[in-house]
Structure 1
Amino acid sequence: MKVEERSIEYIPANERHGKAKDLFPIWFGANMNITTLVSGSLPIVLGLNLFWSVTAIILGSLIGAIFMASHSVQGPKLGIPQMIQSRAQFGVIGAIIPLFLVMFIYLGFFASNTLLAAQTIANIFPINQSWNIMIIGAICFVVALYGYDLIHKVQKWFSAASLFLFLIMTFIVFQLPVPAGQWVPDDFALSGFFLSVSIAVTWQLSYAPYVADYSRYLPVHTPPAKTFWYSYTGTVIGAVWMMVLGAVLTVAIPGFLDNTGGNLAHLFGNFAILMFVLIVFGQLAINVFNLYGAFMSSVTTIEPFFKFRVTPKVRMGFLLCITIIATTLCIVGQGNFLEFFMNFIFFMSYFLIPWTSINLVDYYILRQGEYSVKDIFDVNGKYGKINWIATIAFVASIVAEIPFINTSFYVGPAARALHGADLAWAMGLFLPAVLYYFPMKRRIRKDMFPSGVDSVPVEHDEFLS
């Protein structure tokens, strides 16, 4: 297997391969890890019982995955990475704004996943945690270097292995005793419930900036419905399964979150080593996604200013720098993991949701999937350097979210008035859609026939031939 040669450029028809069903193991496997499990623990930490925690997890996952899978559909149609497609909304230079924020998301998830993996490895080998972190970073670097095809193959094998072992674990977990009243719909806490729904929604949206990166090699005529449903079912089943297990384990095992990997593996008794291996492998697999996405974002950010060809050596250089930065941040940031992780989830949602709203409104409602890929790569093209309509809508929506925020370090006045309910995600979803749709619709209508010819549909774009 050779190093992937493509980076952010369009994938031509003769290099397209695979089927939509290949997306199921990618997104099922992406959720089969202890970071997802810890996310499912958070509703319990927020004070909900198991009934309301599971309800929030299912509801949030079903809602969030709609947006995640809608982004996945863009991959086969456009044949380019997700974040570079944002240039069609924000402009070639303007897209750097959401890209910069997305880079923090990749680094934050890398740190979270790596810390949990390093903690798990410490249960097996008495190695200093900093060395564990560096070893994990090195392995992720190698897999991300080889890219798309290797990632797909790794995820297929991992999905099969995790399905078998987590089925056994599920049987074991649901034999554990839990306190009375945990499965009864009593003691409903509005603020905790909304926060928990927000966590599950945000978990799915965290894949949105790079979900199309893993569907862009599919043939251009891949049915959108199949792309959507294989992505949707894969991520919902994997996420709900792991999050529900996390909630049950947090209730059933005192101090479960103090050593998540160790407590989970020890449920297998004499076969604990199998679970240790699966846990570490799962963390490595999802961290490869973060490195691969960070690589795509960094190239997309730099490309408008410095035209260059991403050779295997250039790819290696980018990925090595990103891996060193992410690993260093992880080593420096060792501390209170749970508080960091919870604040990180909320922080991420405040930026991701306005971006996804603008992107999907533009793709599905305003332009109906028709773009000039050539102009997406041209700083002087039809999408311009900066689209101030998108930029203002994005920034204004983030500002409008502030009163509705509820985190450990800040609670907005609207959140206090709502007894702690965090509705920032709802504000971030609907406000940018309105602020972007109406002025952008007028601009598109005005620019649609500048010389009597409509914009070129993506499948007939001369750039693609």
Structure 2
Amino acid sequence: MTDAVSYPEPLAHPETRGIELIETSERHGRARDLFPVWAAPNVSVLNFTVGASLILLGMELWQAFLVIIAGSLPWILTGIVATSGPAAGTSGSVITRAIYGIRGNRLVVAFFGWFISAVFLALNWLASSFMGAELLGQLGLTDPVLVPVLVTIVVAAITVLVAVFGHSLILRSYPIVASVLLGIFLLVTAFILPHVQWGYAAPAPLEGAPLWSAMTIGFTILASSPLSYSNSPDLARYLPESTKPSHIIAATALGGALPAMFFTGVGALLATGIDAAAMDLGIESALLALLPAWLGPLFVVGVIINTISLNGMTTYTASMAFQSIGVPIRRIPSAVVVGAIGTALTIYLVMSTSLLEAVNLMLQLLVLISGPTMAVFATDVILRRNRYSGRDLFDEKPGSPFWYSGGWHVPGLLAIVVGAAVASLFLTNAVWTGPIAAAMGNLDLSVPVSVVTTAGVYIALTRLAAKRRPTAIPSIEGARA
């Protein structure tokens, strides 16, 4: 019964389950429980940062708000992918064996999954490191490298603990975390609003190609966040199989999109009331300068709590990805390894860049990976009508349903490679501008191009393979019946 709420996993003990199948008797919860699970990580200081960057790109406020709304639409894909968790009863990194094949999946998860996890761990720890260092600097601890590094190590250690205790802790604590963070960030918003220039006009208003370039770049930055959450099945997999997919999609998409949209909008408003000199010092410094003495430390605590909630979830799911590629390691040691990798990358970024530069550059580059992998996953869910056999997914022997051709599923692998390659031609950032993007006045269409191209290639090749070998893709053939 989907309305019954029970937590078979004891909260006082770490979760030992990894990618193993969850039996019907162990399923529990409701789709709406996913809303706070996704809301807590997305009440984030990175939203302020990204929102401010839209204004710095030269947009007017109304243009920035349009981009923010459009950039939230990919959350629907995150929700669609989440529905596969209860259907299969296992993690997303195992479900994608249906897309890439047994051996192909190991390659994709090892490279793409780990890269995305490491980038987001680092970006969020980087935010808390700069903010924590700013606060400690007011107390006399001013070392520009040592202090952020120490903050990173402490926050990373707590994050790994959340991942170790796992699903039950996340599901029980995140509603409280989301409420606390919402209260803190709304307080911060109240002190930002008096500084907003409601009649703000860009110093040099953009028109034509430069305007479209700024808006598409902003869209890419915003869309990269929901596109990266192909781990959404991991948080939904304990739900009863009978849970309505539409409810899972709504709870996941709205939980992530609503707080992200609101506080990214606040970030755009914030940028109108801060002069260029203040922004040069970093948005974290500019934010704290606007707050009363009593609220600054509270806000930093909120940033750190948010970072732990987001990275705890990321570390939790990444630890299962490690298992799914065949590494003989238990989930808890795997979580420690993931945390160590993310910490190392964060420390490197602390010593080499600013928060704003790191966020914008890495989020834009990330879409070349996250766009195709999310698109092919969502397309597969739709093609199969969300019918996945968990037991078939764990059959790794030659000749098994997802062995395909020697363990490789060419349609899935080729779709993401082609999607990424074509999208790179439409990408615009400080490191790389694709030739087609340059010819169109630096228009960044990498997200829609990656999604449409990947989905189109996957559908075409999958249908072609099914015609040539009717038994090659049994799940899709069965879904048609």
Give the Cα–Cα distance (whole angstroms) in 2 for the partners of residues 98 and 50 of structure 1: 39
Give the Cα–Cα distance (whole angstroms) in 2 for the partners of residues 40 and 454 of structure 1: 41
Shift of 1:136: 1.1
Contact 1:261 / 1:276 at 8 angstroms: preserved in 2? no
SS at match of 2:388: coil
SS at match of 1:396: helix
Matches within 5 A, 1:13-412: 13-61=24-72, 63-99=73-109, 100-125=111-136, 126=141, 128-178=147-197, 180-182=199-201, 187-188=206-207, 189-207=211-229, 209-254=230-275, 255-256=278-279, 258-272=281-295, 273-303=297-327, 314-334=330-350, 335-337=352-354, 338-365=356-383, 367-379=384-396, 380=398, 381-384=400-403, 385-412=407-434
Contact 1:206 / 1:352 at 8 angstroms: preserved in 2? yes
The match for 1:439 among 461, 469, 475 is: 461
Give the Cα–Cα distance (whole angstroms) in 1 for the partners of residues 88 and 213 of structure 2: 40
The one-letter code sitting in structure 2 at the alignment partner of 1:352 is S
> Could you tell which deviates more after superposition, 263-272 or 356-365?
263-272
Shift of 1:288: 0.9
Contact 2:48 / 2:266 at 8 angstroms: preserved in 1? yes
The one-letter code sitting in structure 1 at the alignment partner of 2:436 is A
Contact 1:354 / 1:397 at 8 angstroms: preserved in 2? yes
Contact 2:54 / 2:268 at 8 angstroms: preserved in 1? yes
Shift of 1:217: 0.6
Contact 1:120 / 1:259 at 8 angstroms: preserved in 2? no
Contact 2:228 / 2:371 at 8 angstroms: preserved in 1? no
The one-letter code sitting in structure 1 at the alignment partner of 2:431 is F
Shift of 1:415: 0.6
Contact 2:114 / 2:318 at 8 angstroms: preserved in 1? yes
Give the Cα–Cα distance (whole angstroms) in 2 for the partners of residues 403 and 442 of structure 1: 27
Shift of 1:179: 7.2
Shift of 1:256: 4.2
Shift of 1:79: 1.5
What is the Cα-based RMSD across aligned positions, in Å?
Answer: 2.4
SS at match of 2:103: coil
Give the Cα–Cα distance (whole angstroms) in 1 for the partners of residues 173 and 476 of structure 2: 43
Give the Cα–Cα distance (whole angstroms) in 2 for the partners of residues 183 and 22 of structure 1: 42
TM-score normalised by length of structure 1: 0.89
Contact 1:372 / 1:455 at 8 angstroms: preserved in 2? no
Shift of 1:147: 0.5
Give the Cα–Cα distance (whole angstroms) in 1 for the partners of residues 236 and 186 of structure 2: 28
The count of residues paired between Structure 1 and Structure 2 equals 445
Give the Cα–Cα distance (whole angstroms) in 2 for the partners of residues 95 and 324 of structure 1: 24
Give the Cα–Cα distance (whole angstroms) in 2 for the partners of residues 21 and 149 of structure 1: 15
Shift of 1:445: 5.2
Change beyond 3 A, Cα 1:57–1:454 = closer
Shift of 1:266: 4.7
Contact 2:466 / 2:477 at 8 angstroms: preserved in 1? no
SS at match of 2:22: coil
Contact 2:427 / 2:433 at 8 angstroms: preserved in 1? yes
The one-letter code sitting in structure 2 at the alignment partner of 1:292 is Y
The one-letter code sitting in structure 2 at the alignment partner of 1:128 is V
The percentage of counterpart residues that share the same residue type is 23
SS at match of 2:102: coil
Contact 2:116 / 2:370 at 8 angstroms: preserved in 1? no
SS at match of 2:380: helix
Contact 1:64 / 1:200 at 8 angstroms: preserved in 2? no
Give the Cα–Cα distance (whole angstroms) in 1 for the partners of residues 100 and 233 of structure 2: 18
The one-letter code sitting in structure 1 at the alignment partner of 2:305 is F
Partner residue, 2:445: 423
Give the Cα–Cα distance (whole angstroms) in 2 for the partners of residues 27 and 43 of structure 1: 24
Shift of 1:19: 1.1
Partner residue, 1:463: none
SS at match of 1:333: helix
Give the Cα–Cα distance (whole angstroms) in 2 for the partners of residues 394 and 447 of structure 1: 22
The one-letter code sitting in structure 2 at the alignment partner of 1:282 is N
Contact 2:16 / 2:332 at 8 angstroms: preserved in 1? no
> What whole-Å deviation, never above 9, does each CA across 1:57-115 have from its counterpart, x for those lacking one?
11111x21111111122222221111221110100110133311221111111111112
Shift of 1:408: 0.4
Contact 1:53 / 1:247 at 8 angstroms: preserved in 2? yes
Give the Cα–Cα distance (whole angstroms) in 1 for the partners of residues 325 and 409 of structure 2: 16
SS at match of 1:48: coil
> Could you tell which deviates more after superposition, 267-276 or 14-23?
267-276
Shift of 1:13: 1.1
Contact 2:75 / 2:256 at 8 angstroms: preserved in 1? yes
